[in-house]
């Protein structure tokens, strides 16, 4: 098998174990870290695998590694866990760093107990080998460690396809970088450790000051108008807000609709949300603009971000909460969520993060996202409409999979529409039409 070449440096015994298809023994003592491999797991997001429980079962292969690095990792969709203990050589403050392809999470405990581990760093998108400084989230905050003490550490990696890798390094108190952390600092875990739950802490979100809030009907641009901050990083996210006609002269409650854009529409100038989806048609169609009765919110991801990046769905929900606080006339029983392509996937993830927020959800051309989890968490949503083009390959298959699973719990509250002979841009049949929005308005929590 081609896998044997990965571990030539580990010695003859390990190569023989590979040829026989057996796990290599994990020996206690300083010198290695435990590596566990799961094969035939689709997708590139480690958070999806954790949420779906895909790493809770026995791994397909277990091996020791003589440094905190797996490079190259398996050449098909896989996940791996590197677990063990790190022993600081001197007392002081250390900073950990991680690099991987595609995504990874780094957990650390302030003692030997894995139950006390917390996420200290992450890799949100595929990186080059030893590329440690593309994202702030890749590096932990300084952590005070005691010389000679053992601390539990764990790196989890998910690979979409092709060659992959994961490396964990650290900076010693004197600034010396060790990347990867060498075996002389490591002790392997001798047994399987159940992976943590996929939980992302809600970020702190602050809106750009605007006193008093705008009441004038029409579009309002907020370039980098929301500051979003997590423990490891922060971003400034732009958003577009639409207020309906007569909003400034009436006092009635108004529904809120959120739209998540597709890939390649990230940025900071709001152009990516003004020329796609509902905003585009509200600009181009005066009749739709004058009729539209809802407040509409259009978040825009910063460059290099995706809606399936850990933290992005939480940022959307934090922005919704902030807008609801800013405009108390929003009817929080009638909040609707929709998105296309990558934004359709983002709609699933945003709804799963805060299912109690939304009365109705409509996704366009979206892949399947945690269907078994969704059928439980989204059971309280009043209506879900899954729309795709019948000729849209994996997007159509994923949309049908979500319907098949959700229908077992939601019954008639979930609908599936596959438009015959239509490809990926099926949303162009719906967003220009008043009837699409009237359908959303039928539902209230």
Does residue 18 register a pLDDT over 50?
no
**Rounded Cα–Cα distance for residues 99 and 232 (Å):** 15
- Torsion over CA of 319, 288, 270 and 249, rounded to 10 degrees? -60
Q: Where are the domains of the chain?
A: 2-188, 204-441
- Multiple choice CATH, 204-441, 1.10.30.50, 3.40.50.720, 3.40.50.1820, 3.40.109.10: 3.40.50.1820
The pLDDT value recorded for residue 57 is 85
- Closest listed residue to residue 261, CA positions, set 206, 319, 302: 302
Three-state SS for 285? coil
Query: Mind listing the pLDDT tens digit for each residue in 289-342?
Result: 999 999 999 999 999 899 998 899 999 999 999 999 999 999 999 999 999 999
- 347 or 136: which leads in pLDDT: 347
**Rounded Cα–Cα distance for residues 302 and 237 (Å):** 6
Query: Mind listing the pLDDT tens digit for each residue in 344-401?
Result: 999 999 999 999 999 999 999 999 999 999 999 999 999 999 999 999 999 999 999 9
| Fold equal for 2-188 and 204-441 | no
The pLDDT value recorded for residue 283 is 97
CATH code, residues 2-188: 2.60.120.1560
* 153: its two tokens: 């550490």
* 146: its two tokens: 């005691």
Does residue 424 register a pLDDT over 80?
yes
The pLDDT value recorded for residue 10 is 34
- Closest listed residue to residue 238, CA positions, set 224, 251, 249: 224
Task: Round the average pLDDT of the chain to a whole number and report it.
Answer: 91
Give DSSP secondary structure letters for 44-101. S-HHHHHHTTTTSS--SEEEEESBSEEEEE-SSSEEEEEEEEE--SSSEEEEEEEEEE
Three-state SS for 107? strand
β-bridge pairing 33-39 and 151-159: unpaired
Query: Mind listing the pLDDT tens digit for each residue in 406-416?
Result: 999 999 999 99
Does residue 11 register a pLDDT over 80?
no
């Amino acid at each position: 098998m081609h896998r044997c070449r990965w571990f030539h440096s580990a010695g003859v015994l390990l190569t023989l174990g590979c040829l026989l298809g057996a796990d290599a023994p994990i020996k206690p003592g300083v010198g290695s870290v435990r590596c566990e491999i799961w094969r035939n797991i689709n997708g590139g997001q480690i958070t999806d695998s954790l949420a779906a429980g895909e790493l809770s079962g026995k791994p397909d292969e277990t091996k020791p590694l003589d440094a905190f690095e797996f490079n190259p990792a398996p050449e098909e969709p896989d996940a791996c866990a590197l677990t063990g203990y790190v022993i600081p050589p001197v007392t002081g403050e250390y900073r950990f760093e991680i690099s991987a392809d595609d995504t990874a999470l780094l957990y650390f405990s302030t003692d030997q107990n894995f139950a006390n581990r917390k996420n200290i760093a992450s890799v949100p998108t595929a990186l080059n080998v030893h590329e440690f400084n593309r994202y702030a989230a890749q590096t932990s905050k300084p952590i005070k460690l005691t010389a000679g003490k053992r601390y539990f550490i764990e790196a989890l990696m998910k690979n979409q396809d092709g060659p992959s890798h994961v490396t964990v390094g650290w900076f010693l108190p004197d600034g010396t970088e060790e990347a990867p952390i060498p075996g002389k600092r490591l002790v392997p875990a001798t047994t399987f450790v159940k992976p943590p739950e996929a939980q992302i802490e809600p970020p702190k979100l602050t809106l750009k000051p605007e006193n008093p809030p705008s009441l004038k009907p029409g579009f309002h641009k907020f370039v980098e108008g929301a500051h979003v901050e997590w423990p490891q990083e922060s971003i400034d996210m732009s958003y577009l807000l639409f207020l309906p006609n007569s909003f400034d002269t009436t006092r009635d409650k108004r529904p809120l609709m959120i739209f998540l854009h597709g890939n390649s529409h990230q940025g900071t100038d709001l152009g990516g949300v003004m020329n796609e989806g509902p905003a585009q048609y509200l600009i181009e169609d005066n009749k739709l603009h004058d009729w539209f009765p809802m407040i509409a919110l259009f978040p825009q991801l910063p460059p290099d971000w995706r809606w399936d990046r850990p933290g992005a769905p939480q940022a959307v929900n934090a922005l919704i909460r902030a807008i609801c606080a800013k405009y108390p006339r929003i009817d929080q029983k009638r909040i609707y969520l929709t998105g296309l392509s990558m934004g359709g996937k983002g709609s699933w993830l945003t709804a799963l993060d805060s299912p109690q927020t939304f009365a109705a959800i409509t996704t366009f051309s979206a892949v399947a996202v945690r269907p078994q989890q969704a059928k439980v968490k989204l059971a309280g949503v009043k209506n879900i409409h899954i729309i795709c083009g019948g000729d849209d390959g994996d997007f159509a298959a994923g949309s049908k999979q979500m319907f098949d699973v959700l229908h077992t719990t939601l019954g008639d509250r979930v609908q599936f529409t596959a438009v015959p002979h239509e490809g990926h841009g099926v949303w162009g049949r719906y967003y220009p039409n008043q009837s699409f929005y009237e359908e959303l308005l039928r539902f209230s929590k």
